Structure 1
Amino acid sequence: MIVPHVIREGERALVWHRSGRATTVDGPRRVWTWGARLQVLEQHLAGPEEYLVVHRADGGIEHRAGPAALWFDPLRHERIEVAPKLKLNANEAIVIYREQDGRVTRRVARGPALFVPAPDEWLHRFSWHGADPRQPRRKVARALQFEKLRVMPDQLYYDVENVRTADDALITVQLMIFFELRDIEEMLDRTHDPIADFINATTADVIDFAAELTFEAFKERTERLNELDTYAQLVRRAELTGYRIGKIVYRGYEASATLQTMHDDAIEARTRLKLEAETERQAQDLADLKQERDGRRKQVQQELAKQELTHRVELETAEHAARRQRDRLAEEQALELRRRAGELDLQQQQATDAQRLAFLTGAADLKVDLTRYLVAQYQHPDRLIRIDGGRKSDAAQLHLHES
């Protein structure tokens, strides 16, 4: 019994006839082969972050950026591959080569982007010095293999080994180098491994710096290893290869076991002396502080006593002034009372005199002998003044009698 082949919807098949002719069939459909051979075709899909690499039967290559779908056709295709697009961040770049008319050109593509190379393009693959997987503190050739350049500030840890001082001390200087790629074209034209250039230039600068100093002088002048002026060869080489050295940080040094032991002992002795000196200095500072505080306290007490004395004198002065003012007011009031009393006495006397004068005047008008009246009224006077006159030829005589 011959059973037909069912091609479902969304599928595609290729029917090979006995004559060698091929027919493409799309589902949904039933196909009776009758001795022919049916080949189900595969559909290749590329998402938004992928692309199709189509190897044609004629030897050509075609790239189709996703999203895309393509049925494999053995009559036209050798194979179809799905490849990821190259993702470039904002601080990344790639170098692209292209062959056209027998001539190879170069260009740089920068992110952010999803890059799909053309069939006649290929990427530059960098091979630089990097950390040794077995000894990360050492740098070895071709340890870094990559295609995307980082066009942003970066840093490199490097230990300059076998640095010999003027007194033949052998040390290892540990550094951190901060750098930034400024010109990709110049870097491509001037060097194939800028990290190796940095390592070589830095090593030369550090060796030149240490060769003029003894070990003790080197320890005293390590702050100069943080200055770019110390690394003239490194800075110049970086500029020639399109880089800029931002700064260099000195992270310390290592010495041989014997030298390190001697150095540790010296550090311990110096530290002990420093601690003793610091303890003595703190004791002296504490004594000075106590003396200074005592002097300030005495000064404050003297100032308070002075203020208290001044306040007491001011109070006594004010009290004396108030007492004098009170006495003066009392005296003025007494004088005023006496003056008013005198005025009242005078007024009363005047009133009495006026009244008596009016009485005497009235008595005189009544023909009363005032002399006899007065003598009769004052029979015992306090003082008697009598003037006797005799004959006209005799002088008058004055008699004063005090009673």
Structure 2
Amino acid sequence: MKKKYGYAIVNSGEKAIVYNLEGQARLVDGPQRIFLWREKIEMLKRFTASQSEYLIVKFRDGRVEHFNGPCSMFRVPTLHDTIRVRKAITLDAHEAIVVYRHNGDASERTVERHLIYGPKMVVPKSNEWLHTFCWHGVDPENKTRYIAASNKFTKLRLVPDQFYYNVDEIRTSDNGLVRVKLMIFHEIHDVNAMISATDDPIGDIISCICADVTSFTASRTYADFVESSAELNDLGNYPHLTTMCKASGIRVTKVVFRGYFAAPTIQSCHDEAIDKRTGLQLKFEKEQQSQEMQDRELSSERERIARAHQLEIDQLKQKQKLESTQEKHRLALEARKETDDLERKNADRAAQLAHAKAKMDHTIAHYEQLRSLGVDLTQYILNEAAIPEKVTKIVSGKEGRANPSPNIHFHMGSSNHNVAL
């Protein structure tokens, strides 16, 4: 602000406030040229918010209002106490914020809690404020060490997450000091339950993990712990952790045992014992392999002899099969030849019979034709028959003789020969 006499210019798009001697103020919008007489002029500051911003305006009477962008406003000292430009809250698909809102008048104000999930761009209202989380955070110098209240944020990540943690200075039942290395997988599945049950779920998880690992280790000797350390991968060995998760809306899906670290003296003794045990184990395995090799050689020899015998038997069977096949083939050829000969003879006989029958049928038809013509068939047949060169007749003896003996007469041509029997 400065005192000025004479003319003053307020450019286009600007605004100014002018005070007189009595302290009264008036606003001047540009473009304008004004005359000042014993007055003070002050150019007003413009505050502008883009689409991803908003303005927080605090009035002189104590009211606070938020104006969503895009917008612009001049700060008028007689009306506004402060004007601030703030970025809108952008939420990804796996993020959420917790918003508190008070309702009612100044005497009776009730507060409500709301969850807003992404993806979304949020501009809080004047009667709303965000919940600020304050959890254990990772030590920048050691990722397995956590510092209380070092992680402050307003956006919750709702996707599964994991972190490394080492449980240090855990003693076994034989007073061995070990460090257990773990990797914990967790996720938030009920935000309201988590906010109501705990202020720092990571700290609660760490405390429960320490309690469960201490209980697991204290009930075992160092050697037993080394042998059963793989059981730390099972969630059943973390009763305090699982009980806490049920009540706080946190789900621990898996705990991975990444190994352990022991004091140098204990580790040295354990390594020496491991070396001896390993040497004995190697000696035992060597002897066992030698015995197994001998057994395999004997078994292979036995199998080789059995295969040779089986090969001889198979060769004999094959030879017998071949001979049997050849004999069957020879018999089949002979049977086929006999069958062909028999069929040929039957065919010839059938042809002869058919020819004879045809000839006889022709003769009978000829005789029938002759008979129909009135020809004496008996005489015709005798005439057609060939005259024999010799005729032999057998005639009985004369009657009346005592003890007659038969006579046989041979008529050969014109001479007769009688033979008495």
**TM-score normalised to the size of structure 1?**
0.74
Deviations 1:243-282 (A, max 9, x none): 3333322222222334445555666677775699499499
- Quick one: which of 230, 249, 256 aligns to 2:263? 256
In the TM superposition, residue 89 of structure 1 has moved relative to its aligned partner by: 3.6
- Partner of 2:36, secondary structure, is coil
Is the alpha carbon distance of 1:331 and 1:181 closer, same or farther for their aligned partners in structure 2, counting shifts above 3 Å?
closer
Deviations 1:363-397 (A, max 9, x none): 7xxxxxx9xx737xx9xxxxx98988799568446
Deviations 1:28-59 (A, max 9, x none): 22233355433222211112222212222334
| Equivalent in the alignment of 1:374 | 390
- Partner of 2:230, secondary structure, is helix
Q: Does residue 1:192 correspond to 2:216, yes or no?
A: no
5 Å-filtered alignment, 1:23-38, equals 23-34=26-37, 36-38=39-41
Is the alpha carbon distance of 1:174 and 1:302 closer, same or farther for their aligned partners in structure 2, counting shifts above 3 Å?
farther
**1:137, 1:262 → 2: CA distance?**
27
**2:343, 2:17 → 1: CA distance?**
145
- Quick one: which of 182, 195, 220 aligns to 1:213? 220
In the TM superposition, residue 231 of structure 1 has moved relative to its aligned partner by: 0.9
In the TM superposition, residue 104 of structure 1 has moved relative to its aligned partner by: 6.5
In the TM superposition, residue 138 of structure 1 has moved relative to its aligned partner by: 1.0
**1:289, 1:14 → 2: CA distance?**
111
**TM-score normalised to the size of structure 2?**
0.71
> What is the total number of aligned residue pairs between the two structures?
381
5 Å-filtered alignment, 1:1-400, equals 4-34=7-37, 36-90=39-93, 91-96=95-100, 98=102, 100-101=106-107, 105-112=111-118, 113-261=120-268, 263=270, 273=281, 277=285, 280=289, 306=317, 309-310=320-321, 313-314=324-325, 316-331=327-342, 333-334=344-345, 337=348, 358=382, 374=390, 395-396=404-405, 398=407
| Equivalent in the alignment of 2:375 | none
Query: Would the aligned equivalents of 1:93 and 1:151 in 2 still touch at CA under 8 Å?
Result: no
Taking only aligned residues, the RMSD between alpha carbons, in angstroms, comes to 4.6
Is the alpha carbon distance of 1:216 and 1:35 closer, same or farther for their aligned partners in structure 2, counting shifts above 3 Å?
same
Query: Would the aligned equivalents of 1:52 and 1:64 in 2 still touch at CA under 8 Å?
Result: yes
| Equivalent in the alignment of 1:367 | none
**1:392, 1:192 → 2: CA distance?**
169
Q: Which amino acid aligns with 1:174?
A: K
Deviations 1:46-92 (A, max 9, x none): 12222212222334433222222111112212221111222334432
**1:58, 1:336 → 2: CA distance?**
140
Mean CA deviation greater in 99-108 or 119-128: 99-108
**1:265, 1:153 → 2: CA distance?**
42
Percent pairwise identity: 31
In the TM superposition, residue 6 of structure 1 has moved relative to its aligned partner by: 3.5
**1:360, 1:244 → 2: CA distance?**
133
- Partner of 1:327, secondary structure, is helix
In the TM superposition, residue 289 of structure 1 has moved relative to its aligned partner by: 9.9
Gaps of 5+ in 1: 364-369, 379-383
**2:130, 2:353 → 1: CA distance?**
135
In the TM superposition, residue 317 of structure 1 has moved relative to its aligned partner by: 1.3
